[in-house]
Amino acid sequence: MPPGEAGASSDEASSSEASSFDDSLFGPVFTTDDLAEATSGRAWVAGMLAFEAALATAEAEVGLVPPDAAAAIARCCRQADIDPAALGRAARLGASPAIPLVAELRRRLPAEAEGWVHFGATSQDVLDTALMLVLRRVTELVLADLGRLARAAATLAKEHRSTITAARTLLQHAAPTTFGRRAAGWLVAVMEAGDNLREARRSRLAVQLGGPAGTLASLGRSGPRVVGLVATELGLEVPVLPWHTDRTRVAEVSCALALCAGAAGKVALDISLLMQTEVSEVFEPSAAGRGASSSLPHKRNPAMAVEVLAACRRAEALAGVVLSGMVQEQERAVGAWQAEWQTVPELARAAGGAVSFAADMLAGLEVSPARMAQNLAGTGGLALAERLTTELTPLIGYSEARRSVEAASRQVVVAGISLQEALSREPGVAEVMPRLPPDVFDPAGWLGSSEAFVDRALELYHKAYGDD
Amino acid sequence: MPPGEAGASSDEASSSEASSFDDSLFGPVFTTDDLAEATSGRAWVAGMLAFEAALATAEAEVGLVPPDAAAAIARCCRQADIDPAALGRAARLGASPAIPLVAELRRRLPAEAEGWVHFGATSQDVLDTALMLVLRRVTELVLADLGRLARAAATLAKEHRSTITAARTLLQHAAPTTFGRRAAGWLVAVMEAGDNLREARRSRLAVQLGGPAGTLASLGRSGPRVVGLVATELGLEVPVLPWHTDRTRVAEVSCALALCAGAAGKVALDISLLMQTEVSEVFEPSAAGRGASSSLPHKRNPAMAVEVLAACRRAEALAGVVLSGMVQEQERAVGAWQAEWQTVPELARAAGGAVSFAADMLAGLEVSPARMAQNLAGTGGLALAERLTTELTPLIGYSEARRSVEAASRQVVVAGISLQEALSREPGVAEVMPRLPPDVFDPAGWLGSSEAFVDRALELYHKAYGDD
Amino acid sequence: MPPGEAGASSDEASSSEASSFDDSLFGPVFTTDDLAEATSGRAWVAGMLAFEAALATAEAEVGLVPPDAAAAIARCCRQADIDPAALGRAARLGASPAIPLVAELRRRLPAEAEGWVHFGATSQDVLDTALMLVLRRVTELVLADLGRLARAAATLAKEHRSTITAARTLLQHAAPTTFGRRAAGWLVAVMEAGDNLREARRSRLAVQLGGPAGTLASLGRSGPRVVGLVATELGLEVPVLPWHTDRTRVAEVSCALALCAGAAGKVALDISLLMQTEVSEVFEPSAAGRGASSSLPHKRNPAMAVEVLAACRRAEALAGVVLSGMVQEQERAVGAWQAEWQTVPELARAAGGAVSFAADMLAGLEVSPARMAQNLAGTGGLALAERLTTELTPLIGYSEARRSVEAASRQVVVAGISLQEALSREPGVAEVMPRLPPDVFDPAGWLGSSEAFVDRALELYHKAYGDD
Amino acid sequence: MPPGEAGASSDEASSSEASSFDDSLFGPVFTTDDLAEATSGRAWVAGMLAFEAALATAEAEVGLVPPDAAAAIARCCRQADIDPAALGRAARLGASPAIPLVAELRRRLPAEAEGWVHFGATSQDVLDTALMLVLRRVTELVLADLGRLARAAATLAKEHRSTITAARTLLQHAAPTTFGRRAAGWLVAVMEAGDNLREARRSRLAVQLGGPAGTLASLGRSGPRVVGLVATELGLEVPVLPWHTDRTRVAEVSCALALCAGAAGKVALDISLLMQTEVSEVFEPSAAGRGASSSLPHKRNPAMAVEVLAACRRAEALAGVVLSGMVQEQERAVGAWQAEWQTVPELARAAGGAVSFAADMLAGLEVSPARMAQNLAGTGGLALAERLTTELTPLIGYSEARRSVEAASRQVVVAGISLQEALSREPGVAEVMPRLPPDVFDPAGWLGSSEAFVDRALELYHKAYGDD
C-alpha cells in the first residue's frame, strides 16, 4: 500500500473518485436512508474499529497485551476517522480492507503499541465481526419496519373484517371473501417472516475470532476467554468455534431477510393488481407528486408497489449468492466469502427497503369497499356458483347440480344475465329454487370462516405485538 | 379429460411414454433411492389420496358429509391405484393434477358419494397438503443422513483431535492446526443446518385447507374444526390461516434444505482438495470401481465429492425458485406456486443426496497423518512465521520482527532453506534466537485452542445426538 | 460395477425402481412429449452410442483401429439396447454414466474389439458430445415452436392492426394503442429470441473429443483428423480445441433457451392479465375441460398461461446453474460440469415447454375488440390526457395546459364525468376548446405510429419466415 | 418533488448523505475505476441529458418543436450540472429518476421552451436510452480488457507451447499436457466470450423511444423519423419497435457479460489452484503488498484470483435478475424493469472487473516450468498409465494390459516405486517391455496434439486480434 493511502481522512478523498462508486441515483428509490447508513462503508469501518478496540482490551484483560498498548489502541480506534474510500482503494492489493486498516492503525500508534493491534487475529475476524455488527443494526431496522407493516395489515384486517370483496384465484373471481381476510393473510406472512428474522438475530449473530488458522494460536490457552470478552463487549454471541468457512449463520440471516422481502413483495403485488384501472379497489396513499408520470398527467401509478417489487427481485437473487457461497475452501475461501461483502449489504438494503416501503404503502392505503362490492356484483352472481352447486346437490344430485350450474354460468357470460335468472331457466332447477336458502345469492351469506380467520390472525398479532 | 385417462392404472401406461419423463439416467448419480421414492409421483398421489380421505372423514365427523359417503370415499382412496403418468398427462388441461384426480375418484364412486369427494376444498388444498406430507418424509430422511454425517465428522474430530496438519487459507498453508479441528468445523456446520431443518420440520409442516377462496365457505361454521381434524389425522400442524399465497413455510423448508446442501458441499470441497495428487492427505473410501476413470486406469477420483458438489449447485439454484416465488397473486398464484411442484422435489433430492453421499464419503474416509505432517514440513517452517513474529516482537520490536520474518520467509522460498536457518541469517535475529522458546519451530507448540475447540464441538454433538 | 448391471436391458428394470426417478406426474404439465423424449435417458444413451460408433469408425479410417474391430463396435452400438435406469444406477460409483456404458460395450464385444472401444477418448468426450446431439434435437423442436408462436403473434398483429385498446403502463391505462401493436411487440421479442437460438444452434454445437488430458495423446498425429471425421459423421461443428472446461458454448445455448422462455413468459403474463375478470379482453382457446377448476364450475382459468409462467421461472433459474458453472477446474471440473447433466435437459424442457404452450395459447386466442373499446371508454377519456395537454399547450401555454388537464382528470375520477366535460369546466379552457381538433377526444385519432410499427414488425416477420 | 431538490447541484449535496449510498469501501476491490465511472450516477444522468437534447433537436428538425425551444433545451442539457444524489432522493416519489429530471429541466427553461422538453417521450425512453449509452461505454471497456486478457493468454500459450505439465482432471493428475495447451484453452474461451459480447454490442444497443404507450402518439406521422434521428445523434441502433417490455436486448447483453465473467473466473480458479502451496507452479505477479496477509508475513495469497472469483459469483447471480425479469407486464413493468437499474450496472462492474483483474493477473504471471516437471515426476510415471495400456494392448491384449497397468499403478502408490519398475514386476509384462517404444516413460512423447492445438488457438487469435 502506498504510504498514507489508507490513512487519507475523508476530506482528502476527491469527490469525483468517491462518487464513481456511489449508488445515490438509484439507491434511494429502493431503500431507506437508515438502511443505507447501516450498511455503508462508514458503518463497516466503525464495526472493524470496534472489533480491534475490543480485542486489544480483552487481550489486556487476560494479560496478553500490555495495558498501555491496549488503551492506546482503543483510543486510536475510537478517534480514528478512516475514510472508507481510501481504505477501499488500498484494499485491492490484498483483496481485503482489513489489511490496510490494520496497517493504518499501526502507522498511527506509538512503536510500543503498534505490534499489539490485531494481535492474534486475522483479516476475516475483523470483517466477519463487522458484518455481524452491521447485521445487528440492519435486523433492528427491518424488525421495526416489519412491526409497522404488521400493524398496518392488522389495522386493515380489523377495519375490513367484513368488507366483502371478490377472492381472486389465477386472477379470476373465485368466490366472495372479505378484504380483512386478505389483509389477515398478509399479516400472518409478515409475522412469520418476522419470527424467522427475530430468531436469526437472537441466536445467530456471533463474534468471529479464530486467528489465521482458526486456532487462536497466538492466544495460548486464553483463546476462548478472549473470545468471550470480545463477544460481551460487542454484544454478540459466543460461537462454538470460529466459523470462518462455516457460513451457516450468514446464510440463515440472508434467507431470513429474503423471506421478509417475499412477504412484503406479496403485499405489493396484490396492491398493484387491486389498483389496476379496471379494478380500482385500493390506492396507494396519495401525496403531492407520488405515483406521478413523466408524461401522463392523469395517472396514479403504484409507485410504492413498484419499488417494493423491484427491491424484492434483487433480494432473492442476492440471497442466492450467499447460499451458493456456503461451499468454501478449507480455512479461508477463495472468492465465495469475499462475494458476501457487497452482497449482504445490498440484500439488506433491498429486503429492508421492500419491507419499509410496503409498510408506508399499507399504512396509508385508501380502500374502496363500494368498488369492491361493485366489481363483485359485476359478474352477476358467478362468485356464488360453488354455493349453488353445493345447495342444489341434495335437491337434484351432484352431477345434475354441477351440470346445471355450469350451463347457467355460461349463460351469465354469454347473455349477460344474472346467475339467478340463468339458473331459473335451467330445466329441473326452477322448480327446486324456492327450496334454496333465501340468502343463496347474497355474497354475505357465503363468507365461511373469513371473519373467524381474521380474528385468529389478530389474536396472534396482539399476542406478539401487544398492540390494540 | 378424456374418459378414463386419469383412471388408467399403472399397467396401462406404456413404458415408452413413462420413460420420456424419467430421470433414471442421471437421477441416481446425485440422490438416494429413498429420496427419489419419497418425492416420486407415487408419493405425491399417495399424499393427495390421504388428504381426500381425511377430509371426507373429518367432514363426516362434523356432520357435513353423510357417513356412508365418507366411508366410501376413504375406501376408494385407500384402494386407488392411480397411475401418476396418466394423471400427469390429464393435468395439462387445467394446469393441475388435482382436477383429474378428483374427477377420477368421482368416476369410481357411487352416485351418492361422488358429490362429497373434495367437498369444500380446492386444488391447492390437495396439492399443498400432499407437498407437506412429501416434505415430512423428505425431512425425516435428510435428518437421518445429517445424523450420519455428523457422526462421521465427530468420529474424525475425536480420532484426529491432535493430528497436526496445515491450515490452509486462500489455498495456501497458513499455520498448523489439527485435522480434528477441521472436522469439528464440518461437524458444527452440519449440526447447525440440522437444527434449522429440524425446527422447520417441527413447526412449519401444516395442513392446507381453505377452499377456493381461502374462506372454507362450504363448511359453514365448521371450517376450523374440520381443519383441525384433518391435521390430526395426517399428523400435520394446524395453520393460523389457510396459506395458499403465503409461501413462508415452503420457503423456510427450502432454505433449510439448501443450508444442509451447503454444509455437505463444504465438506466435499475440502475432501476434493485434500485428495489432490500433490496433497493426498485423505481419500474417499475405496470400493471396487469407485472413483474409477473411463480411460485412466490409475486414477482415484473424488467421485463422491463430485456428486455432492454437483447436487449442491442445483440445490441452491432451486431454492431460489421457491424464494423468488413467494410473491404470489391474491388468493392463487399464476405460475409461482405451480413452479414449486417440480422444484421442491428436485431440491429435496439434490440437498438430501448431497447430505447422504457426504455421509458415506466421510464415514469411510481414509486419512493419512503422515502425509499431513510431510506436507506441513515441506514448507520449511513457514507455517510458524506468525509465531516467530510474535515471539520476536518483545525481543526486537514489532517492526523489526515483522521485517526480518518476511525477509527470512522469502529466503525459505527462494533458497529452499528452513525458516530456522533463514532467520539465523537475518541481522539482529541470530543473537536473540537462543532466547526463543525451545519448541518455537515445532508445529505442535502452536496449536492454540485447536483441541479445546474440538472438545467444545464434540460436547455439543454428544448433547444433541447422545452418541458416545 | 456389479457384473451385468449396466447391461440390463429395458425389460429387466423393475418398474418400481424406474418410476422413483420419474417426473411423469408434473412433467407433462410444463413441457411437451417431444421435448421430454428429446432429453430423455434414452436420447442421451443414443447420443453416447452414436459417439462411440463414430469414434471407432473414424479411428479405423485413419488406421488407428483395426477395421474389423471398428465394424464390430459400430454394430454393437447400433444394436445395443442399453437401459438408462441400469446405467444410471451403475453410474453412481464413478460419478459418470460413461464409465459403465463403456464397460458394458466391452463386455458385449469380442476380445479383439473390446480394447478399441472408446479408444483415446474420455468420459467427458462421450457425455458432452451426447449433450450436443440432445441440444441439436432440442433446438430444432424449440425453433419450430418459436415459429408457431411467431406466426400466431403475426396473425394477431395483422388482424388487430387497428383494433383500439388501452396501452397499460404500471398496470394503469396510459393512452390508446392497438391490440396489433401489442402483438407486434410479442412478435419482435419472439423473433429476436429465435435469432439468438438459431445462431447458437448453427455455430455452437460442436463435437467434444480431447481424450483424458485434452491432448488426444493416444491418437498421435491423427487427433485433429479424427475430430473432423467424428464431427462430420455426427453433423456437429469442429471446435478449435477440445472444450472440456470451456463451457462457453453450453452457457450460450442455455442463455438462448432462457431468452426464449422469457419471450414466451411475457406473452403469457399479458394474456393472464387481459383474461382477468374485470378486463376480459382476451381468452385462452377453449376446449372441453381446459382451464377448469376443481371446485368452481364457472371459472375459465388462464391454465396455459400458468403453465408457461411456471416453466419460465424454472428455466431462468436453471440457466443460472449453467452460467455459474462456467468456472471449472483445470482439465475436468469437480461438480460444475456434472451439475449440467440434469440441469440442461430440465432447462430445455422448461424453456421449450413455455414456447410450445405459448404458441398453442396464442394460436387459438379469442379476442374481444368490443370489450377493449368498452374498457378504454370506461375511463371517460383519461387515456387522451396526454393529447389534451399537447393540444392545449400552443393555446394556453404548457404550465396552464398541464395544470388544467390534471385538475380535469381528477374531476373525471372523483365526479365520474368525462374528460371532455371536466375540461370544459376548467377556467380558461372552455373558451379555447372549439379551436381543438375535432377528433381530440377520439382514441382513433391518437394512435401515432401504432400501425406503422405493426407493419414494420410484419415486414420483418415475412422476411424471416416467408409466411404470408 | 420539493422545489429545487432535484436541481441541487453537486456541491449542495451533503457528503454524509451521499456516502450512505456509496460502495467505495468494497467497490474498488472488485472492479476498475473506469467501470465504476462508466456506470455511475453521473454517467446515467449524462445519458439522460444526451437523450433529452437529441430528442428536442430531432423534433425540431421534423418541425414538431420550435427551433428556439430545441436549442434552449439542448443548451440546458449540455450545461446542466445535475446532482445524481439529489435526483435519486427525488426519484422515490414516482419510482423514477426521469420524472424529477424532466421537472428540473422544465424549471430551468424559459416558459416558451419548458413544454417542449421530453416532448412525446416517456420516462422509460429516457432511462432505457441512458442504459444503452452506459452499456456502450461498458462494453467498450470490457472488450478492451478482454483483448488484454486474450493477449496475456496468447503470450503464455506461445511461450509455454511445449512446457510439459500435468493435466489435472477432477483435481487428479491425468496425463501430460503442456502449459501452453492449458493457456490456449483459456484463450479460446476468452475469445468466444469476446465474440459474443462484440456481437451484442454491435447489434443490440438501440435507442428507446416510444412515448407513454409505445406508439409515439404525440409525434404524429413523424415518429419513425424522429427515432432515426435520435439514434443517429446518439450513435445507437434503430429498433424495429420501441422495446419497453421486450427486454431481449438487455438480457442478451447481460448474458454476454456473464459469459465474460465466466471465462475470466475459469482462469482465476486455475491460477488459484496452481498457486497452492503444494503445487506452486505459477504465481500471481508480485508487487509490494500484493497478496499480503494481515497476520501471516510469509504468505503469497492469490489475491487477484480471489477478486476475480468473487466478482464472478456476483455477476452470474445479477444476470439472473435480468433474465428472470424478462417477463414484464403489458406496456410497462411493475418492478422487473426497475430492478434492472441497479442490477445491470452492478453486473457490468462485476463482470468487467473480473475480466480486467484476470488480465492483470495473467499478464504478469510467473510460471515455473521446473516445478511443473517436478510435480509431474512426483507420481512416478502414473501420468503415462493410459499410454502404457495403449502400447501394451497389441502385445498382451486389452484386458491383460489394463489389468497389469492397474496393478502396477497401485504398486506405485503403495510401494513408492516408479511405474516402470512396477510394470516390470508384473507377470507377463517384463518380457514384452523391450518391445515398447523407447520413450514410453517420457511425458514428452505423450503430448498428442497439444502443440497443434496451441497453434490452432494462436492462429485464431492472430486472425481476430492481429497481434503478433
Spatial CA neighbour of B410 closest among B425, B429, B431: B425
Cβ distance C95 to B293 less than 8 Å, yes or no, reads no
Best of C195, C245, C248 to disrupt the D interface (most D CBs within 10 Å) is C248
- Cβ contact C88:C98 at 8 Å: no
pLDDT value of residue B4: 39
Q: Is the domain of C352 the same as that of C407?
A: no
Do the beta carbons of residue C185 and residue D214 sit within 8 Å? yes
Separation CA B120–CA B226 (nearest Å): 11
The predicted pLDDT at position D413 comes to 82
| Beta carbons of B317 and C312 less than 8 Å apart | no
Catalytically active residues of B are 293, 332
Instruction: Measure in Å the smallest separation between the Cα of D72 and chain C Cα atoms.
Output: 16
Identify whether residues C147 and C296 lie together within a single domain. yes
The catalytically annotated residue of A10, A14, A293, A324 is A293
Asked whether the beta carbons of residue B85 and residue C313 sit closer than 8 angstroms, the reply is no
Same domain, D149 and D37: no
Residue C282 in any domain: the answer is yes
Can you give the pLDDT at residue C303?
Answer: 96
User: Residues near C25 by Cβ (< 8 Å), separated by ≥ 6?
Assistant: B41, B44, B45, B84, B85, B87, B88, B91, B97
For residues B141 and B94, state if they share a domain.
no
Q: Is the same domain home to D342 and D405?
A: no
pLDDT tens digit string along B148-191? 999 999 999 999 999 999 999 999 999 999 999 999 999 999 99
In angstroms, the Cα distances linking B157 to A241, B149, B163 are: 13, 12, 9
Mean pLDDT computed over B320-333: 98
**Closest residue on chain C to D268 (Cα):** C327
- Write out pLDDT tens, residues D284-337: 998 766 776 666 666 779 999 999 999 999 999 999 999 999 999 999 999 999
A96/chain B closest Cα distance in angstroms: 12
Nearest CA in chain C to B335: C310
Q: Using the beta-carbon criterion (under 8 Å), do C277 and A170 form an inter-chain contact?
A: no
- Mutation pick from C11, C17, C19, C323 vs chain B, by most beta carbons of B within 10 Å, is C19
Do B72 and B84 belong together in one domain? yes
CA distances, A334 to each of A339, B190, C329 (Å): 9, 21, 13
Percent of chain D residues past pLDDT 70, beyond the cut: 94
Whole-prediction pTM: 0.96
Give the pLDDT mean for D188-193.
98
Q: What is the ipTM of this complex?
A: 0.95
Alpha-carbon gap: C176 to the closest alpha carbon of chain B (Å): 27
The verdict on A32 and A116 lying in the same domain is yes
E strand intervals along D259-397: 282-283, 366-367
Chain D adjacent subunits, 3+ CB pairs under 8 A: A, B, C
Please report which confidence band the pLDDT of residue A414 belongs to, taking 50, 70 and 90 as the band edges. Answer: confident
Q: Which of B322, B354, B375 is the last residue of a domain?
A: B375
- Whichever domain contains C180, its CATH number is 1.20.200.10
Same domain, A359 and A396: no
C385/A297 CB distance under 8 A: yes
One of C14, C293, C324, C449 is an active-site residue; which one?
C293
- pLDDT for A4-19, tens place per residue? 344 434 444 444 444 6
- From the CA of A242, how many Å to the nearest CA of chain B? 8
How many residues would you count in chain A? 468
**pLDDT 10s digits, D368-378:** 999 999 999 99
Contact list in C for residue A302 (CB cut-off 8 A) is 170-172
Average pLDDT, integer, range D241-265: 98
Comparing D416 with B33, the larger pLDDT belongs to B33
Closest-CA distance of chain C to residue D19, Å? 31
Chain C contact residues (CB < 8 Å to A): 166, 168-175, 272-273, 275-279, 293, 295-303, 306, 320, 324, 375, 378-379, 382, 385-386, 389, 402, 405-406, 409, 412-413, 419
At residue C286, the pLDDT reads 80
Determine whether the interchain pair D21/A27 forms a contact, defined as Cβ–Cβ distance below 8 Å.
Answer: yes
Distance of CA D201 to the CA centre of its chain: 13
Q: Say whether A295 is catalytic.
A: no
Judge whether B94 and C292 are in contact, CB under 8 Å: yes
| Average pLDDT for D436-440 | 93
pLDDT (0 to 100) of residue D19:
63
Answer with the one of A375, A405, A429 that is the final residue of a domain.
Answer: A375
Query: Least CA distance to D265: which residue of chain C?
Result: C327
Q: A87: domain CATH number?
A: 1.10.275.10
Distance from CA of A320 to the nearest CA of B (A): 6
pLDDT at A197: 98
- Is residue A398 one of the residues assigned to a domain? yes
pLDDT in the model for residue B104: 97
Shared-domain flag, residues D328 and D419: no
**A462 in a structural domain:** no
Task: Tell me which of A263-267, A443-447, B399-403, C432-436 is least confident.
Answer: B399-403
Q: What is the pLDDT of residue A384?
A: 93
D344 falls within a domain:
yes
- The residue among D6 and C61 whose pLDDT is bigger is C61
Indicate the residue of C174, C220, C450 with minimum beta-carbon distance to D212.
C174
Residues of chain D above pLDDT 90, percent: 86
Structure confidence by residue, pLDDT tens digits, D100-154 = 999 999 999 999 999 999 999 999 999 999 999 999 999 999 999 999 999 999 9
Q: Give me the mean pLDDT over the D250-259 stretch.
A: 98
pLDDT in tens, D426-435: 988 999 999 9
Selected for mutation to probe chain A from D14, D22, D273, D361 (highest A CB count within 10 Å) is D22
Is D458 among the domain residues? no
Residues of C within 8 A of A275 (CB-CB) are 171-172
Q: Are residues A266 and A315 in the same domain?
A: yes
Residue A183 included in any domain: yes
Q: Determine whether the interchain pair B266/A245 forms a contact, defined as Cβ–Cβ distance below 8 Å.
A: yes
Touching subunits of C (3+ CB pairs, under 8 Å) are A, B, D
Give the residue on D whose Cα is nearest the Cα of C326.
D262
**Residue B261 to residue C321: CA distance in whole angstroms:** 15
Would you say residue A336 lies in a domain? yes
Supply the pLDDT for residue A154: 98
* Segments of chain C with pLDDT less than 50: 1-18
Mutation choice for B interface testing from C12, C26, C39, C106 by most B CBs within 10 A: C26
Interface test with A, best of C168, C270, C275, C278 (most A CBs within 10 A): C278
What is the mean predicted confidence (pLDDT) over B73-91? 95
**CA-closest candidate to residue B55, choices B218, B204, B200, B205:** B218
Encode pLDDT of A16-43 as tens digits: 444 689 899 999 999 999 999 999 999 9
| DSSP result, B321-378 | HHHHTT---TTB-SSTTTTHHHHHHHHHHHHHHHHHHHHHHHHT-EE-HHHHHHHHHT
**What are the chain C neighbours of B306 within 8 Å (beta carbons)?**
95, 334-335, 338
Cβ-contact C143, C355 below 8 angstroms: no
Does C323 contact D255 at a Cβ distance shorter than 8 Å?
yes
Query: D290: which residues sit within 8 A by CB, 6+ positions away?
Result: A93, A94, D284, D303, D304
Q: Do B270 and A329 touch (CB under 8 A)?
A: yes
Catalytic residue among D148, D332, D402, D403: D332
Put simply, the answer to whether C278 touches A279 (Cβ < 8 Å) is yes
Q: Average pLDDT for residues D160-180, to the nearest whole number? A: 97
Q: With a cut of 50, say whether residue D3 has pLDDT above it.
A: no
Q: What is the pLDDT of residue A9?
A: 41
What's the total number of domains in chain D?
3
Residue A298 has pLDDT above 90, yes or no: no
The whole-number pLDDT of residue D234 equals 98
Q: Of B220, B251, B262, which has the smallest distance from its Cβ to A251's Cβ?
A: B262
Q: Which three cell numbers stand for residue B216?
A: 372454507
Q: What percent of chain B has pLDDT over 70?
A: 94
Structure confidence at residue A293 as a pLDDT band (50, 70, 90): low
**Quick check: A26 and D91 CB within 8 A?**
yes
State whether D323 and C255 contact (CB < 8 Å).
Answer: yes
What is the average per-residue pLDDT within A57-65? 97
Closest-CA distance, A33 to chain C, in angstroms, reads: 25
Does any domain span residue B227?
no
Catalytic pick among A332, A371, A402, A425: A332
User: What is the average pLDDT value for chain A, to the nearest integer?
Assistant: 93
Instruction: Give the helix, strand, coil percentages of chain C, each rounded to 5.
Output: 65, 5, 30
- Domain's final residue, options D121, D138, D161: D121
Residue D466: the pLDDT is: 83
Backbone angles phi, psi at C282, to 5 degrees: -140, 165
The residue annotated as part of the active site, out of C332, C371, C402, C425, is: C332
Looking at the structure, do residues C129 and C117 belong to the same domain, yes or no? no
C306 closest CB neighbour out of B18, B22, B335: B335
The verdict on a CB contact (< 8 Å) between D252 and C196 is yes
Instruction: List chains touching A (3+ CB pairs under 8 A).
Output: B, C, D
**pLDDT score recorded for residue C468:** 56
Closest residue in B to D327 (Cα–Cα) = B335
Please tell me whether residues C286 and C427 are part of one structural domain.
Answer: no
Domain of residue B247 covers 124-206+243-375
**Closest residue on chain D to A1 (Cα):** D289
Q: What are the DSSP calls for B192-243, one per residue?
A: HHHHHHHHHHHHH-B----TTTTS-GGGGGGHHHHHHHHHHHHT-BPPSS--
Residue D12 confidence (pLDDT) above 60: no
pLDDT digits 0-9 by tens, C260-319? 999 999 999 999 999 999 999 999 998 766 776 666 666 779 999 999 999 999 999 999
Chain A residues touching B447 at Cβ < 8 A:
215, 217
pLDDT at A294: 65
